[in-house]
Amino acid sequence: MCLCGLDDLPFCSPAILTRVRAVAFFRETSKFSTHSNGSFALIRPNRNWVRLLPFAALVLCWLPLLRAAEGGAYDVSKEDLPNFPFTNAARRAGFKNIPIGSSGFKFSLGGSEQVRFQSLNNRRDFLDRLSDKDSSILTKTRLNATIFKDQFFKFFIEAQDAHEFFNTKPGRGVDNVNENELDLYQAYLEFGLLLDVVDKPSLRFRLGRQELVYDHEYLIGDRDWFNRGQVFDAAQARWRPDGFEIDFLWARPVEFNNHNWDTTSDTNLAGYHLTALGVPGGHKLASYAWYKWNAQRAFRGEDRSRGGEYLWTFGGVAEGNFAKRWDYAAELAVNAGERGGDPAHSFRIDAHVGYTIPIQWRSVRLGLSYTYATGDKDPFDGKAGTFDSLFSDPFLFHGRSLVAAGTNLRDLTAHLTAKVWRGGMIELAYHHLRLSRSRDALFHALTFAPLRRDRTGRAGREAGGELDLQITHKFHENMSITGGGFFYFPSSFFERTATRTRGGDTARNVFMMFKINF
């Protein structure tokens, strides 16, 4: 018996009824505040119930999925085909492509769970004797629902619940970047127009809260490694004339708030991204122009006065393969504008080259990459020379221990990627890191705030090195396990900027992560 009285409707499937009952339960367990005029407003669900709801909902989803998967959801004899056993099982269990009456619209449910154990040491102070070692378990649960009709209409909504458990050294007085109680992660409306020659929309609009990823995520990424991720409240139009794909974008990043609903930042981003399609030889060419601005007088100039930020970023990307086994990628980005009343001019260059050695179905790729991101030459000349990397995903670039940001940095990196068993991959990288300008700071990869600075420049430029090892086994497209360690070795710059509470000892991050989705 459907408690909402919808039993007789054709679209009231068991999956939808589960969602309806969850909404009713949410209403019963939420907290409300009463205004003086007698009206009330939702503040925030009871925290204890919030922690249980995502796990309970995920269990309700996985039970029929596992039962459906027992019957065989994919053909194991076809190893070259994409393998989505849990997604296929979700279709069998009635979670996917549920018809909504005879309207042509359909309804689907999806979700993912990421669990990571990590043990960190010296990440805050780089000083062994203070022992800031901490260990914790991070969980990120996402549940989503989609209503769609062919390729021309889509409404997508996704909730996220992120937590850090058993943290032995929680920070005091600061927001925990790994925590975000049940909140709206994505919610957007998408519709397509103008059919092309293969009956796909050549003009697509997407409005609402969404993830954004462009190129290699040097400037705009989804920060998938991080427990909260990264989303934007955005309006995006994608046009695909013959041979090109052009995105026009206006966006504002979402600011996560652990104990309240997430809000939108005062920072704006607008611009375009152009990609050339069908370039001979399989190469990719792209160009972009982004304008980032924030009129709030929250940015301090070098003369200590405050002002807004108005910054253009122009750039281009080229990547592809040559001579059969070689690959390359290059990107140039230039900043120009004003920050805190100071004129701002900076740039960044990234170059990569790799060679793949095939060994039957196995392979080994050897790679070399170099990054040069400008820093501020003189902290007192009234000119800002530090590169601004916008909303990048820092985990992907200058060391996965997340010490060094991609600004005021020179990074020479050697890579090795080996696929030595089916579904398995070993990634090994060593970064040699130097400051571009000795009088500017080494910036923190996550917050982009100065981590260490010597305004005299006498501490030098040698920032250290980092060794990253990551081993991944992908059981199939719906499940993987990853483990490894990231080790940052500070150099003379850390030693010469050391204090009683900040040293130059090795920082470590050892982890194991499990990911599953349907």
- Give the span between the Cα atoms of 452 and 401, in whole angstroms: 16
Length of the chain: 518
Could you tell me which of 355, 389, 384 has the C-alpha nearest to residue 372? Answer: 389
pLDDT band, very low/low/confident/very high, at 75 (cuts 50, 70, 90):
very low
What are 11-61's pLDDT values in tens digits?
344 333 343 344 343 334 443 343 444 433 444 444 445 555 655 665 566
- Give the span between the Cα atoms of 306 and 301, in whole angstroms: 6
Of 278-282, 284-288, 307-311, least confident by mean pLDDT is 278-282
Task: Assess contact for 488 and 503: CB atoms under 8 A.
Answer: no
- Give the span between the Cα atoms of 240 and 65, in whole angstroms: 37
Three-state secondary structure call for residue 245: strand
Region 197-215: what's the mean pLDDT?
87
Region 297-303: what's the mean pLDDT?
86
Q: What are the residues whose beta carbons fall under 8 Å from the beta carbon of 251, sequence distance 6 or more?
A: 212, 232, 233, 234, 235, 236, 268, 269, 270
Could you tell me which of 407, 318, 329, 425 has the C-alpha nearest to residue 368? Answer: 329
Tell me how crowded residue 461 is: count the other CB atoms within 10 A of its CB.
20
Q: What are the residues whose beta carbons fall under 8 Å from the beta carbon of 310, sequence distance 6 or more?
A: 291, 292, 293, 337, 338, 339
Distance of CA 274 to the CA centre of its chain: 22
pLDDT band, very low/low/confident/very high, at 174 (cuts 50, 70, 90):
low
- Give the span between the Cα atoms of 235 and 471, in whole angstroms: 37
Could you tell me which of 369, 359, 292, 277 has the C-alpha nearest to residue 325? Answer: 359
Task: Assess contact for 230 and 221: CB atoms under 8 A.
Answer: yes
DSSP annotation string for 350-418: EEEEEEEEEETTEEEEEEEEEEEE---S-TTSS-B-----TB--GGGSS-TT--B-SSSEEEEEEEEEE
Instruction: Quote the pLDDT of residue 361.
Output: 82
Instruction: Quote the pLDDT of residue 22.
Output: 40
More confident residue, 83 or 192: 192
Instruction: Quote the pLDDT of residue 441.
Output: 93
pTM comes to 0.83
More confident residue, 261 or 470: 470
Instruction: Quote the pLDDT of residue 38.
Output: 41
Residue 424 has pLDDT above 80, yes or no: yes
Percent of the chain whose pLDDT exceeds 70: 81
What are 447-470's pLDDT values in tens digits?
888 988 999 999 999 999 999 999
Q: Which amino acid is at 189?
A: L
Three-state secondary structure call for residue 91: helix
Q: In this structure, are strands 450-452 and 30-34 parallel, antiparallel, or unpaired? A: unpaired
Mean pLDDT across the chain = 83
- Give the span between the Cα atoms of 443 and 450, in whole angstroms: 4
What are 121-130's pLDDT values in tens digits?
887 778 777 7
C-alpha pair distances (Å), 496 with each of 124, 408, 411, 456, 491: 17, 18, 20, 12, 9
Instruction: Quote the pLDDT of residue 65.
Output: 56
- Give the span between the Cα atoms of 463 and 451, in whole angstroms: 11
Instruction: Quote the pLDDT of residue 492.
Output: 87
Residue 187 has pLDDT above 60, yes or no: yes
Instruction: Quote the pLDDT of residue 258.
Output: 84
- Give the span between the Cα atoms of 429 and 27, in whole angstroms: 49
More confident residue, 37 or 149: 149
Q: In this structure, are strands 30-34 and 40-45 parallel, antiparallel, or unpaired? A: antiparallel
Question: Highest mean pLDDT range out of 73-87, 165-179, 326-340, 395-409?
Answer: 326-340
Could you tell me which of 246, 179, 236 has the C-alpha nearest to residue 212? Answer: 236
Region 58-70: what's the mean pLDDT?
55
Three-state secondary structure call for residue 335: strand
Degrees, nearest 5: CA angle 104-105-110: 140
Three-state secondary structure call for residue 226: coil
What are 337-352's pLDDT values in tens digits?
999 999 999 999 999 9
